[in-house]
Every structure is written in C-alpha cells, then in structure tokens.
A = this chain, B = another copy of it.
Amino acid sequence: MQTERRPPRGSDDPAAETLGTTGEFALISAITADLEPELAAAVGGRVLLGPGDDGAVLLADGPVVSSIDCLVEGVHFRTDWSEALDVGRKAVAVNLADLEAMGAAPVGVLVGFTAPAELPTRWALDFAAGVRQECRTAGAALLGGDTTRGPVIMIAVTALGTLPGEAITRDNARPGDVVAVCGRLGWAAAGLAVLGRGFRSPRAVVEAQRVPAVPYGQGRAAAAAGAHAMIDISDGLLADLGHVARASKVIIDLDPAAFAVPDPLRAVAAATGSDPLTLILTGGEDHALAAAFSAEDVPEGWTVVGRVLRPDAAEGRVTVDGREWEGARGWDHFRR
C-alpha cells in the first residue's frame, strides 16, 4: 500500500481502556479466552498445547510447512480505512495463502502484536477476534503469540500447516504446461485506488482491499490434481509468476483475452482512467493462487490464463501475448 501512516487511531472516549491500563497479561487472557474448541477443531495436525506456555506443541501427520508475514500500520493497512477485525482477518489470510500455495493444510498461527500503549484495548481485542474468525474459516487455530510495545501497530503472523503430499514449489513449471489461476486478481488494487481517492465504493473492491478472499482448499486441490509449480499472488500476477519463471527457468506467456473483467474492476478502471488489465496483471494483495499443470490436470474452479512456452537459458521471464509487459510489474517493499 503506497500510503503514509495517519495518526488518528483510537477512541473518542477518553475513559476507554488502553493497552497501558489493561496491561500485557490481562490482554493475553482476554485474547485467548475459550480457545479450546478451535484448538480441537484445527485440521491437519493435532494441537497438543496451545497458548499460555513457552511454546505451542503440534503433533503433525506429515511434513510441517511454515511461513511468516509482517503487516505494518500505514504500509499494509490504515486504521481509518480498515476495522481492527478486518486487519486481524487479513493478517491471517495473507499467511494461510502461503500455505495453500505449498499444497498444505493449515493448522494454526502464531501472532506477534506490537502496538503503542495508548492503543484502545478494544482495537486489540477486535483484531484478535478477526484473527480467530479467519482461522475458523480456514480450519486453523490461534496457537500462541507475543505482545509488546512499539511506535505503531505491527503484526507478524507465522502460519503452520501440514503437507498431505509433496510440497508444490516454484521451480518445477514445465514447457507445455498450462498456467491457471484461482481467486481474485486486481480487486484489492482497485479497492486501494478508490480508497486513495477518498471513495468507499464499489463496496466489493473496498472490502477486497480490507480482507482478501483466499481460495482456501484450492491449493490442496491443485496439489492433489498434480500441479507442478504453485505460488501465492501477493505482489501482482506478473511479479509473482516472474518468481515461478525464474525458479523454473522457463518463459511463461499469458493470454490477455483469458481474463474475464469483473464489473467492479471495469467500473474502477473507467472512473480512474486506468486499464482493467493492468489492475489484473499487476495488482497485489488479493492472494489468489497461480499454478502450472499438465493441461488435462487443471481442477475445477481454476482458470487457464497462459502457457509455459519453453526453457529460457537466460533467467526465465513472463510475457503477455508474446510481448514484454510495459509499465509497473509489481511491488517492492523498500522501493517506491
């Protein structure tokens, strides 16, 4: 998100509890209350021990996949654009998408939560409720965490999952494969475009910016169908398929006609004088999945959008209709 932090965060009620008055240990107790049913329901592994000790303990029924992602206030979310519940859901969703992209079943998350002492306690509790809600949606559980003080809200989530089969990596896309996607492309970027102009509609893209609709289960379905390579689209389709192309040392060509343009994207593109295909090819934060398959293996729910053409002795690259894409390709967190 290419925006600066906005200071106003908090409550209009000066008597409201803050993290400074609630304290670390009471906060943790409130966040982890009544977790047992969720821990018991977590799929893919058995949670032997949840929050409250030095570490969580899982008995996994296969190899364990882990991934970490950080979300920073003013960089990945703004408290005046997103409710705390949405930030909690998003923090979990972006991470569980990484597990899906490996073909893994999520078991749970560890959450590091850093915030100023003057943050209303309500915000932290709503954030935690969002974490637990998204976990439940995905069949995972809150396994543990750490809370500490810092100048802005910073969230680090580690997702843990188990692999029913082989890990689907980025480096095995094969010439002759088709490339297919599952999930939304360009919606979150469209939402960011309208929020950045001070609008709150189309509502669907604004909501997509706040919480990505991760296609839970589809990464596992792709792995079971025999996907050769897979990735989570976090920085934009061209940028992330670029990782697959380089790791696999192949040329991937996308067919621009293969992408349906949903109405909300068409509306945003018209209103902002932009091209919907640019949103689709370069917009990040939707956390769709992209994978390379043998043509006959593409599972239901996936859309073929391109092909793996041939090995590339150089470094691997992605083209659109046979040509280099002009313009922005994706997002580098330190460059602007």
Instruction: Tell me if A274 counts as interface (CB < 8 A to partner B).
Output: no
> For this complex, into which size category does the number of interface residues on chain A fall?
35 or more
Q: If the complex has contacts A24-B335, A158-B158, A334-B149, are A58 and B54 also in contact, measured as CB distance less than 8 A?
A: no
> Do A64 and B57 touch (CB < 8 A)?
yes
Instruction: Tell me if A99 counts as interface (CB < 8 A to partner B).
Output: yes
- Stretch from A35-43, A111-119, A197-205 that touches the partner: A111-119
Copies of this chain present in the complex amount to 2
> Do B68 and A54 touch (CB < 8 A)?
no
> Do A53 and B102 touch (CB < 8 A)?
yes
Which residues of A66-90 are within 8 A (CB) of B? Answer: 66-72, 74-76
Instruction: Tell me if A332 counts as interface (CB < 8 A to partner B).
Output: yes
Q: If the complex has contacts A24-B334, A150-B154, are A169 and B49 also in contact, measured as CB distance less than 8 A?
A: yes
Q: If the complex has contacts A75-B148, A101-B54, A158-B158, are A48 and B63 also in contact, measured as CB distance less than 8 A?
A: yes
> Do A23 and B332 touch (CB < 8 A)?
yes
- Name the B residues within 8 Å of A69 (CB-CB): 112, 146
Instruction: Tell me if A163 counts as interface (CB < 8 A to partner B).
Output: yes
Nearest CB of B to A101, in Å = 4
8 contacting pairs across A/B (C-beta < 8 A)? A58-B64, A60-B60, A66-B143, A68-B158, A70-B150, A72-B114, A75-B148, A110-B158
